[in-house]
Amino acid sequence: MLFRLAYLGVTNALALLRLLPMSDRDKDAEILALRHQILVLERHLHGERVQFTRADRAWLAALLHPLPRTVLNRLRLLVRPETVLRWHRDLIAHRHARISRPRRVGRPRTIRSIRTLVLRLASENSTWGYRRIHGELLILGVKVAASTVWDRLTHLTIHRRDRLGGILHEYERAA
């Protein structure tokens, strides 16, 4: 879409350069011809809606936005002036939504120092469960969810099981 919008911008800029050497009479004649073509197109469509691409909408919205509403009402357009203004509002909203979108999706990672503290408390106090470790962290002033502590402990037990399983496997080999 961005490429198409750039293409439309370049072609329309070249069209504007073509208008510079033209006289006002020639420009008025071209405008009348274009208005007549719009009338023929509307008659040919039999009341059906014209489908614009996103790039066409963006170009028309950018081109017609600076014009006051009174001028827009006098123009012969394939769409209502309110539609052009809505397209412009949608462009601005889409731009702001893209800018304010977070760079990384999902929940932010737990800070490494908190993860190591959870693992240290778990290794030094093997009888404590995740709720006790969570309570101790709250007493220390570390704000972390109990589910995060539980998640860290499950990762720890998985790694312990793997290490233990590897040791048992080697012991069975030796026997």
Query: Cα angle at 136 between 133 and 141, to 5 degrees?
Result: 125
d(CA 42, CA 36): 10
d(CA 63, CA 2): 16
Q: What is the pLDDT of residue 157?
A: 65
d(CA 124, CA 92): 55
- Percent of the chain whose predicted confidence (pLDDT) is above 90: 5
Top pLDDT among 49 and 85 is at 85
- Residue 1: pLDDT band (50, 70, 90) is low
Q: Is the pLDDT of residue 21 over 50?
A: yes
Tokens 């293409």 -> residue: 7
Q: Is the pLDDT of residue 119 over 80?
A: yes
d(CA 105, CA 42): 46
Least confident of 47-51, 77-81, 110-114, 156-160: 156-160
Beta carbons within 10 angstroms of residue 58's beta carbon: 22
- Tens digit of each residue's pLDDT (9 = 90 or more) over 50-67: 777 888 788 878 877 777
Do residues 58 and 91 lie in contact, with contact meaning Cβ atoms separated by under 8 Å?
yes
Q: What is the pLDDT of residue 138?
A: 92
Q: What is the pLDDT of residue 161?
A: 46
Two tokens, residue 21: 């050497």
